[in-house]
Amino acid sequence: MHISYESFIGHVDEENVYLRLAQYAKAAHTYAGLRNLKIGKIGYPYPGMLDICVDDAVVSSLGPKVEIITLSEVAEQLQAVTDEETFLFMEEVKKECDYSRITEEDFIRAARLYRALENIVHKKGLKALCVHDYECLSTVSKTVAEFALSYLENRYGIAAGVEGDMPNCISAFIARSFSKVSPMFVDWTMFDEEDNAIFLQHNGKADPAILLKPVLSPSAEPFGGVEGEGVVFEAAAKPGKVTMVSMIYRDSGWYLFAAEGEAIEKETKPCRLNQMTVKINSPVKEFLERICNHGIGHHLNVAYSHFITELRYLAKLSGINIIIEK
């Protein structure tokens, strides 16, 4: 039987020894959580996004158990949500967010989906939820899922993956385990040489607690099945030290990519998307060339604080291949 361990040597008054021990303990705690993680899965990977496609057996090789949630189950829970539950939640959200740009009908559909998913998460004991929305969940919910998933992150710390991206649903769980706040799920989007930074965005899923000004917006992509325009967050992230984390599966196993940077304060771009601008340490174009050459997937999670050392320990414990960029 193989037992993983790490040695830390120093004098009793050396603070660095205790720091390293604490970092390893955090990694071991995250590893234990990963081995026991229960992920709800609604739908399938977004068609054509081959970098996010994995089957449940591959996921189970890391430890998590995948619980399939059918559209019939979602429909049943939507039917069970009362108007009182829906409107009570909406009043709570109105105290936290600017909702002036969305319609009452869109808000009701989004809030009802939140309540339905909240019930499913509690009923099944889930710690993560991976959803394919467009022309899948949206055909039942009649709205987009970003708002509901944002509040599951905010209220319960549920790691969420969208577009059926199971690898980065898992990386969201890992990132949150170390950061202790919700990460932001994003695409690699644009670069800015003047700021030596990368602009990152996605379709509007973001825990309002990490946003400078949480503004609810119609969706940029209200795809098949959606009635109205849906509800998402159009808002920029707060500034601070961050770690970028992405996962992908290849023939040679699981790979975890990580890089540290700093989220910088920027005005929100009017694009109906969640967004973050991250300043990095090396020249931005060279950095992005290396990302492409590593074969990193197009999705990632960005979480507050720096935790590269903890990720190295986690990779060693779990057998995940790790790619670190400076």
Asked if the structure places residue 9 within a domain, the reply is no
Domain with 197, as residue range(s), is: 15-325
Q: What is the pLDDT of residue 71?
A: 98
For residue 160, which phi and psi values (nearest 5 degrees)? Answer: -125, 135
Q: How far apart are CA 110 and CA 85, in angstroms?
A: 13
The CATH number given to whatever domain includes residue 175 is 3.20.14
The pLDDT value given to residue 1 = 56
Q: Could you tell me if residue 70 is inside a domain?
A: yes
Domain assignment present for 211: yes
Q: Which ranges constitute the DSSP H helices of 258-307?
A: 284-294
| 294 falls within a domain | yes
pLDDT of residue 217: 98
Q: Residue 42 has what pLDDT?
A: 98
Q: Which string of DSSP letters, residue by residue, matches 99-151? A: -TTS-HHHHHHHHHHHHHHHHHHHHHT-SEEEE-IIIIIHHHHSS-SHHHHHH
Q: How many domains does the chain have?
A: 1
Does 55 map to a domain? yes
- The mean pLDDT of the chain is 96
* Band of pLDDT at residue 134, cut at 50, 70 and 90: confident
| pLDDT tens digits, 194-223 | 999 999 999 999 999 999 999 999 999 888
Phi, psi at 217, each rounded to 5°: -135, 155
Give the CB-side neighbour count of residue 119, counting CA atoms within 13 A: 17
* Residue 4 in domain: no
205, 196 Cβ separation under 8 angstroms: no
Residue 8 lies in a domain: no
pTM of the predicted structure, to 2 decimals = 0.96
Asked whether residue 7 is assigned to any structural domain, the reply reads: no
In this predicted model, what pLDDT tens digit does every residue of 220-236 receive, in sequence order? Answer: 988 889 999 999 999 99
Q: What angle do CA 123, 95, 218 make, to 5 degrees?
A: 80
Q: What is the pLDDT of residues 35-72, one digit of tens each?
A: 999 999 999 999 999 999 999 999 999 999 999 999 99
- Residue 3 class from Cβ within 10 Å (0-12 exposed, 13-18 middle, 19+ buried)? exposed
